[in-house]
Amino acid sequence: MKIAFTSTGDGWDAKVDPRFGRTDYFLIYDDATEAFTLVDNTEIRSVEHGAGPKSAEKIFELAPDVLITGNGPGGNAASILTKMKMKIYVGAGGMSIREAYNAFKNNELQKGV
Amino acid sequence: MKEIVCISGKGGTGKSSVVAALSWIAKDEILVADCDVDAADLHLIFAPEPEKSEEFYSGIKAEIDPSRCIACGICAAKCRFDAIHPVGNVYQVKPLDCEGCGYCFHVCPQNAISLPEQMVGHCFTSNTRFGCKLVHAKLKIGADNSGKLVAKVKNEAKQLAAALEKEYILVDGSPGIGCPVISSLSGANLALLVTEPSLSAQSDLERLWKLIQKFQIPAACIINKADINPNISHEIKKWLKKEGIRMLAELPYDEDFQAAIVNGNSVLEYNYTKWQPVFEKIWQALKETK
């Protein structure tokens, strides 16, 4: 299973960015291979409007099985993610990736959208 | 670190007056970010002295290189905004009319048109007479606020608050529910809603709450000028209860607020004995709200 985190950096000790649309990175963890893939999203800093849908497009391309974030996507991003039938979990803002992963595994994260 | 965003939906409910009053109470614990960049006004009360200033670039506008223009007029014919006109023997773009759509750029047979990013204003980090730092921005005339600029102001504020070990960031948001408001809510821990008993404020508050719920952010509410329409105040209170939004305070209509602004002061400086207990109570309640 591929899990995407909105993230401030790479590895288990990076923090979950509470923002979806304006997250600097998506960190993908594949629990079959136990490997991380860091996807740079910093280009979003130069996007004036519509950051949410842009980041949702990126998630569409990356096609993870689960998305873990903080505040949860806004309306426009959510409509794209819902059509993809993406499984979204929220409330992980500020946690480390390790804490968020464990919270997800223990069913402690709230379902988003 | 906790990020508290003060928003209202409708403009003119007293959001910035509340932020100024709370800032005076909490000046040792907070860093303030003015994200109402379109109509920034906290600087009128904080008297900021910038210690850092950065140019801010956003959006594009067309520019015609006169040395390559052959005055064919295709760009002017295609422009939907009537922004391109002949001047002498070349064509020129009127910057205030250009919307940056890029149509002219694509149709110019001479590749004489470029779309440079525009310097639209400055982002500042300032010391204030309150003692707390203020991160704010100033846009040039006619320039647009955007989610991008709000995200920049908030990022600066976050980094600085972490470096200074401040526990709270108090964000003055903009009216409405559009892109800048979404950006100011993104990543926040608590929304402080400042409303007033008018039909438009009530309707905007409900629309704002729909937006806030998408981000699963808890909210608390102040009804300002509550006595100007007790019936609507009552309706709003009923609605807050139904939605599970914590009611923090009802403030009366009071000309102290106006007088304080005219003097460039927070309402606490204008009449400390009257307003200190009111805003102290609100600040303590805000700190407890999860």
Domain formed by A2-111, architecture: 2-Layer Sandwich (3.30)
Within this chain, do residues B101 and B235 fall inside the same structural domain, yes or no?
Answer: no
pLDDT of residue A112: 84
- The pLDDT of residue B194 is above 90: yes
Domain of B74 in residue numbering reads as: 62-115
Looking at the fold, whether B17 and B70 belong to one and the same domain comes out as no
pLDDT in tens, B59-93: 899 999 999 999 999 999 999 999 999 999 999 99
Verify that B26 and B164 share a domain, yes or no. yes
**Please, is A106 exposed, middle or buried when counting C-beta atoms within 10 Å of its C-beta (0-12, 13-18, 19+)?**
exposed
Chain B hits for A54, Cβ within 8 Å: none
* Domain assignment present for B124: no
Do A30 and A2 form a contact (C-beta atoms < 8 A)?
A: yes
Q: Which of A50, A52, A72 sits opposite B216 (nearest CB)?
A: A72
- B49 within some domain: no
Look at the pTM and tell me if it is higher than 0.80: yes
Q: Are residues B102 and B209 in the same domain?
A: no
- Our CA-based measurement puts residue A58 at a distance from the nearest CA of chain B, in whole angstroms, of 18
Q: What is the pLDDT of residue B250?
A: 97
CB contact under 8 A, B151 and A71: no
B185 shares a domain with B100: no
pLDDT at B275: 97
Percent of chain B with pLDDT over 70: 100
Does any CB of chain B come closer than 8 Å to the CB of residue A80? no
| CATH code: domain of residue B103 | 3.30.70.20
Q: How far is CA A74 from CA A33, B138, B178, in A?
A: 32, 27, 11
Mean pLDDT to the nearest integer, B275-285: 97
Contact list in B for residue A75 (CB cut-off 8 A) is 211, 214
pLDDT band at A48 (very low <50, low <70, confident <90, very high): confident
Confidence class for position B251, pLDDT limits 50, 70, 90: very high
Nearest chain A residue to B150 by CA: give it. A48
B210 and B282 part of one domain: yes
Are B111 and B158 members of one domain? no
Per-residue confidence (pLDDT) for residue A13, from 0 to 100:
96
H, E, C per residue of chain B = CEEEEEECCCCCCCHHHHHHHHHHHCCCCEEEEECCHHHCCHHHHHCCEEEEEEEEEEEECCEECCCCCCCCCHHHHHCCCCCEEEECCEEEECCCCCCCCCHHHHHCCCCCEECCEEEEEEEEEEECCCCCEEEEEEECCCCCCCHHHHHHHHHHHHHHHHHCCCCEEEEECCCCCCHHHHHHHCCCCEEEEEECCCHHHHHHHHHHHHHHHHCCCCEEEEECCHHHCHHHHHHHHHHHHHHCCEEEEECCCCCHHHHHHHCCCCHHHHCHHHHHHHHHHHHHHHHHCC
DSSP A69: -
B249 and B180 belong to one structural domain:
yes
B247 pLDDT tier (thresholds 50, 70, 90): very high
B238 Cα to chain A: minimum distance (Å):
26
A110 to chain B, any CB pair closer than 8 A? The answer is: yes
Question: Do B97 and B7 share a structural domain?
Answer: no
The pLDDT of B204-209, averaged and rounded, is 97
**Among B110, B138, B141, B164, residue whose Cα is nearest residue B35:** B138
Do B84 and B223 share a domain, yes or no? no
Average pLDDT, chain B: 95
Residues B268, B162 share a domain: yes
Q: Is A78 on the interface with B (CB under 8 A)?
A: yes
Please write the tens of the pLDDT for every residue from A86-112: 999 999 998 999 999 999 999 999 988
Structurally, how many domains does chain B consist of? 2
Closest CA relative to residue B4, chosen from B138, B123, B157:
B157
Are residue B270 and residue B170 in the same domain, yes or no? yes
* Closest chain B C-alpha to A32 CA, distance in angstroms: 31
Q: Cβ separation of A17 and B187 shorter than 8 Å? A: yes
Banded pLDDT at A29 (limits 50, 70, 90): very high
Is pLDDT of B94 > 90?
A: yes
At B280, the pLDDT band (50, 70, 90 cuts) reads: very high
B209 in a structural domain: yes
The answer to whether the Cβ–Cβ distance between A71 and B186 falls below 8 Å is yes
State yes or no: pLDDT of B119 exceeds 80: yes
Q: Judge whether B140 lies within some domain.
A: no
